[in-house]
Structure 1
Amino acid sequence: MPGVYVVLEHDQGQFAPSSGEALTAARRLGAQLNEPVIATLIGPPLPAFVELCELYGIPLGLNLLDPQITDYGPELWGQAVAELAVLREARVVMTTGTDRGNEVLAQASARAQVPFVANCTIAEFNGSWNLTRMQWGGSLLEDVTLTAPSLFISYAHHAIEAEPVSADTSTQLESIEFNLDPMLCRSLVQDRVTLTEGTTLSTAAVVISGGRGVGSAEGFEPLEQLASLLSGKVGCSRAVTNNGWRSHADQVGQTGTRIAPEIYIACGISGAIQHWVGAMASKNILAINTDPEANMVTKAGYAVIADLHEVVPAVIAEIERRRGSNPSS
């Protein structure tokens, strides 16, 4: 059945936070093309699949099965998507433009010989495809016109806000069993890291990041305290991880985590393009920096030109005063 097939990312039984964005984008594109939208799960069934589809108003769910697909593997996933696109004559196959999403569709595109446009912010069809995609880490938007019967698309992460639907939806499930080439299975899992429960850097409503200006690993203690008061998470720039002050898991940026919090507080961060790419989807940005010409200061909606080592403790003290808490507790 032709239609818009949206591939959902998942790991260790949990769907990626970007799944809502992907389903929202697919729902809008399906309405524009007057094509059915089919949510696609690769690998063993997950109990939350139907619930997720119904939350975002997707009436059709498809499970791609193969005995070899137990964990994520770009070659296997890519081959499964390629065979799906050919078998169903898919009009569009799409996902979110995360590292994994782009990796899978690149594999599938090469195997199915279908054009792939990555990191789109706009995708429209008026006799031909009119797309806008991010280049140079998001510092440049490129308009693309493409004529093709089928297309693979990834939407830039955080380019679309997830929008659940209010109407009741009943999702019907079906499955396809493949017999993929065993030579495609090239992954060897030697260790498995348990996913962090609760709020993560990519899902936090408040993120407080420190850069080289923090000065040391110990300098992050006030940022941790402020994040705790605001129920947020602490991030950092690449300079911090290069200095060994924090782990790469905390890095915000093009080669780290891309975030979209309600509030982003950048402390002592110059704002190099690699960092800005990861933070630019933030709804509100406050920069604290002694340099009024720093890139982060000029891009932020709000700025405090002062020493973060004076500003952050003062903010903590004021929050505690207003809450009537003991500053030492």
Structure 2
Amino acid sequence: MKTRNLWMASAAMAWQLAGSAQAAEPPALAEFATGDGAYYTTLGGQVVDPYFVNKGFTIALQADVPLKAELRRWLAWLLPRQRLDGGFDRYCPTGDMGWRSCMGADADDSMAATTIEMLHQAREKKWLTTSQLVAADLAIVRSQQLLTRLRNPKNQLYKALLNTELYYLMDNVEVYEALRVTEGAQAGPASKQLATAITRNFRSGSDWKPALPEYDQPRFYPHTLASAYLWQTGVISSAESDRATAQWLALHGKAWLSRSEDDYAWGLVAWKMRQTAPIQAACWRASLRPFQATIGWTVLDAMIDQALAQKGIGTQCPFAKTTAPATAPAANP
């Protein structure tokens, strides 16, 4: 997720104006549904960004969340909209209950990667209908062809868009994950080569550059968050991943859980640490309850919250008093 233009303020206002009182539970997947198989990116939003939905279903598949019917409806909506070059746009509703392409993809490399990974996992779990198998295979081939065009043979990295020379650490890790799922149990030459390229180009001592060229001003997103995408992927060893998770939590855990530096929930961090730090993953779930409309809550976060619950991660946090987001002070009378 590169673009911060998710319209959080307007979405939160729309949700509040709709009369939603502060709820104990954060909004679930159904509250993002458009009614025809797709899902809006944010609460009260008017944009369908397939990246967020694909990423959410990929995680749901990994967690065995029972969303087979929802996935089938999503694919029935999504796959016919794939461009001939393998990419997907972002979509806005039209006045006649239809959809129009209103923006290009934020990043074609991550969009293609999540499409490949989601469809491969859905095939393995036999979640696709007979008619969807052919469409899924075609979508995978087109996405792979797009990735081939996005790959720079000189640095062996994948650029975000065909007309740019911008490379994201997060995107390249997602491409690595897509390559791994297609290779099977053993890592193949393509993923090994990419893992080497990621380390060579993005690593700077003990730190990781979130993008090339580098950003001028460090911010919570993407600088603080980018390295979390590496955890438990195989790009770095399991031991290094565990150490990196612990170090990240020591430095940034409080800001992440309290959302003091960034309003977004960033559930992907909780998902990435579910094995190494399940208590902190539970603290993330606890920090959302009772839910506040000021939280930047996406369809991806909703599916991650459900996936963590499916994996047995509860909502009890022994550090709740120190990690709970601060409430706004009462206005002067």
Give the greater-gyration-radius structure (CA): 1
Q: Which one scores higher on RCO, CA 8 angstroms, separation ≥ 6?
A: 2
TM-score w.r.t. the length of structure 2 is 0.25
TM-score w.r.t. the length of structure 1 is 0.25
